[in-house]
């Protein structure tokens, strides 16, 4: 879908802003890094929280099964490769106890791999510690890519700036890392580059040898490509029925094309210098990094093959890189952030950080939130960093709670996983989290009177008052306008549109939707939520929104009609893309159904209270 077409179909007042994110490639986001792709920003709305007067039906609780470590204490089988994690840890300088306490587990059913612990790790203890010097870093590109300037540099020169912001340019750091990855995954090109440049690349000969095991353990390039929406065809993208995802795909495509062009261009320039005839200043005829003196078929084959490898390298950067800040222990930042790919560390999967056992104030009582199955149990950061000195710095993962024997280590990748369409665009998967347990009193463990909750995020404020929010959002179109809703709040603009429609349909008088006396729309709003006395929602308006949300939810589970050839259905890549699109639709279906149920409970209880008040009067 073209960008113009999307903008044309978008409602006038919604105005979805398209912005250039910090990074198109980088898994561990949040305060560490944002998604590498260009993405459409989520429309910002003031919202009215839904008061849940009655709790939803209790979800069926399932005991999480913790698998025991393999009998083999050093190796773990992945899809088609045996990874000796202990040997890899030692070759990259991973400290004990992580070097011998970690193993890579591969599910026999799904093929999903994850890093697990052999022995229990206590809260605050080190899970993994690896030197930054053992990582691929964007500040140490290979020799053939050194000296390359970005568009940001040119702009800085024109503006009179010093160009220090260049390292924060998304395409700049992603292509520098991709150049390093190319050296690792494409040994023939690395050797040719070193021959041309006289060696001295980002990685030395001994370093290349220890990266071989890491390279062999990478997921199949075609599988990774199939999971990333930037590579999907229009049929798969449209089948997700998510406008935000389609906008992100369009913008990512052009960002990726620019990065590929830069890598191909640099490659051509380096080969140009390497092929000069001794004593001659005339270079061979070059175009797009290929010598035009060779046959056209060889040109096309060579260029397409290298472009494919560039895509593979950028896919790895997009899904395995993370950002670390150059800060001293006192918090002083002395340089631009680094983007790194850390071996072993990059096996750690994502888990929501909302599973913390921290008690919070809910309805005036101190309560402990329910545990989220698959929630984060660790965090990462840089330690032992000195001012202008990275020689002793280490990337350290620490447990945020006790991690049991055989349990998988999970960290929160950050804002690039929220909402779910952004996680799919950034990392190629749709997160799935299940609440295990109930809200319980903070002073005892008796859950008999606790309430079941299915929200997946609890925003802890400084005052220890928790506002329940849902990680997931879903698109809801109403009267030609697009809104993004979660299960626990209603955008003001959506209420306005629904109220106007209700008036046109003669469903409700205008007096049914009025802000309470003395309240202003912009007052009492904190953190995107409205205080208890800041606004009201008419039952008739809530009913109209719930009806529309229910209709949309059921339309999402109807399999879209895709004009595809039979051979497409037998292509693993196409099947993978369609499966992920279906997962996203199912996610939005669940959000909209919960949203509609909460609205129904709201207007049912509001109507009952109104009837009771009238009777008493």
- Residues of the chain above pLDDT 70, percent: 57
Q: How far apart are CA 432 and CA 418, in angstroms?
A: 12
pLDDT in tens, 261-303: 999 888 765 554 444 444 444 444 444 444 444 445 555 567 8
Q: What is the pLDDT of residue 500?
A: 86
pLDDT at residue 530 greater than cutoff 70: no
Closest residue by Cα to residue 417 from 127, 146, 86, 29: 29
Asked whether 546 and 593 are in contact (CB, 8 A), the reply is no
Q: How far apart are CA 128 and CA 116, in angstroms?
A: 11
CB-based contacts of 38, cutoff 8 Å, min separation 6 = 18, 19, 20, 21, 24, 248, 251, 252, 254, 255
Choice among 237-251, 279-293, 426-440 with the minimum mean pLDDT: 279-293
Helix ranges (H only) for 409-563 are 420-427, 492-504, 539-556
Q: How far apart are CA 178 and CA 315, in angstroms?
A: 9
What is the mean predicted confidence (pLDDT) over 563-584?
84
Instruction: Give the pairing type, strands 47-49 and 75-77.
Output: unpaired
pLDDT in tens, 309-363: 999 999 999 999 999 888 777 777 787 889 999 999 999 999 987 544 444 444 4
Q: Give the three-class secondary structure for 485.
A: strand
Is the pTM above the cut of 0.95? no
Confidence of residue 165 (pLDDT cuts 50, 70, 90): very low
Q: How far apart are CA 182 and CA 203, in angstroms?
A: 11
pLDDT in tens, 468-516: 345 689 999 999 999 999 988 899 999 999 988 877 775 444 444 444 4
Confidence of residue 204 (pLDDT cuts 50, 70, 90): low
What is the mean predicted confidence (pLDDT) over 230-235?
94
Q: How far apart are CA 498 and CA 333, in angstroms?
A: 48
Q: What is the pLDDT of residue 68?
A: 39
- Using the 8-state DSSP alphabet, how is residue 30 labeled? T
Q: How far apart are CA 304 and CA 222, in angstroms?
A: 15
What is the mean predicted confidence (pLDDT) over 172-195?
78
pLDDT in tens, 41-100: 344 445 555 543 333 333 333 333 333 344 333 444 444 567 889 999 999 999 999 899
């Amino acid at each position: 879908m073209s960008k113009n077409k999307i903008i044309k179909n978008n409602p006038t007042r919604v105005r979805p802003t398209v912005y250039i994110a910090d990074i198109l490639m980088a898994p561990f986001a949040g305060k560490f890094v944002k998604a590498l792709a260009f993405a459409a920003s989520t429309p910002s709305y003031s919202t009215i929280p839904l008061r849940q007067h009655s709790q939803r039906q209790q979800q069926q609780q399932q005991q999480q099964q913790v698998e025991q470590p393999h009998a083999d204490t050093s190796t773990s089988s992945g899809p088609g490769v045996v990874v000796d994690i202990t040997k890899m840890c030692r070759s990259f300088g991973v400290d004990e106890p992580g070097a011998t306490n970690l193993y890579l587990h591969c599910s026999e059913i799904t093929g999903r791999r994850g890093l697990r612990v052999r022995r229990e790790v206590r809260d605050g203890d080190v899970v993994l510690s690896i030197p930054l010097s053992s990582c691929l870093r964007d500040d140490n590109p290979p020799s053939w890519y050194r000296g390359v300037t970005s568009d940001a540099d040119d702009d800085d020169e024109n503006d009179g700036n010093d160009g220090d912001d260049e390292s924060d340019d998304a395409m700049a750091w992603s292509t520098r890392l991709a150049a390093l990855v190319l050296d690792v995954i494409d040994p023939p090109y690395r050797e040719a580059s070193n021959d041309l440049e006289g060696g001295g690349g980002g990685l030395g000969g001994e370093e290349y040898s220890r990266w071989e095991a890491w390279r062999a353990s990478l997921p199949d390039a075609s599988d990774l490509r199939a999971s990333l929406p930037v590579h999907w065809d229009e049929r798969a993208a449209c089948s997700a029925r998510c406008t935000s995802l389609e906008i992100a795909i369009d913008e990512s495509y052009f960002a990726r094309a620019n990065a590929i062009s830069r890598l191909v261009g640099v490659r051509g320039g380096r080969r140009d210098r390497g092929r000069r005839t001794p004593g001659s200043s005339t270079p061979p005829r070059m175009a797009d990094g290929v010598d035009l003196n060779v046959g056209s078929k060889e040109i096309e084959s060579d260029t397409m093959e290298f472009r494919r490898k560039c895509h593979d390298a950028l896919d790895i950067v997009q899904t395995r890189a993370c950002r670390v800040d150059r800060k001293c222990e006192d918090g002083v930042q002395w340089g631009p952030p680094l983007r790194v790919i850390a071996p072993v560390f990059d096996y750690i999967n994502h888990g929501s950080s909302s599973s913390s056992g921290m008690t919070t104030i809910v309805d005036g009582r101190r309560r402990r939130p329910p545990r989220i199955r698959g929630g984060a149990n660790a965090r990462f950061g840089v330690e032992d960093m000195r001012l202008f000195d990275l020689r002793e710095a280490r990337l350290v993962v620490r447990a945020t709670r006790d991690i049991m024997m055989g349990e998988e280590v999970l960290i929160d990748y950050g804002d690039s996983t929220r909402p779910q369409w952004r996680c799919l665009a950034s990392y190629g998967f749709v997160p799935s989290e299940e609440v295990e347990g109930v809200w319980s009193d903070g002073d005892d463990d008796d859950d008999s009177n606790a309430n079941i909750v299915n929200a997946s995020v609890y925003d802890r404020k400084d005052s220890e008052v928790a506002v329940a929010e849902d990680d997931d959002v879903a698109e809801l179109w109403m009267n030609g306008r697009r809104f993004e809703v979660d299960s626990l709040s209603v955008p003001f603009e959506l209420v306005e549109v629904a109220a106007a429609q209700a008036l046109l349909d003669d469903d409700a008088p205008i007096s049914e939707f009025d802000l309470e006396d003395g309240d202003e729309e912009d007052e009492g709003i904190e953190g995107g939520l409205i205080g208890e006395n800041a606004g009201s929602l008419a039952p008739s308006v809530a009913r109209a929104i719930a009806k529309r949300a229910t209709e949309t939810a059921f339309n999402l589970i109807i399999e879209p009609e895709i004009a595809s050839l039979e051979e497409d259905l037998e292509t693993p890549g196409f099947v993978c893309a369609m499966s992920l699109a279906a997962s996203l639709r199912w996610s939005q279906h669940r959000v909209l159904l919960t949203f509609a149920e909460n609205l129904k409970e709201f207007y049912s209880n509001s109507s009952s209270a109104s009837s009771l008040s009238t009777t008493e009067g």
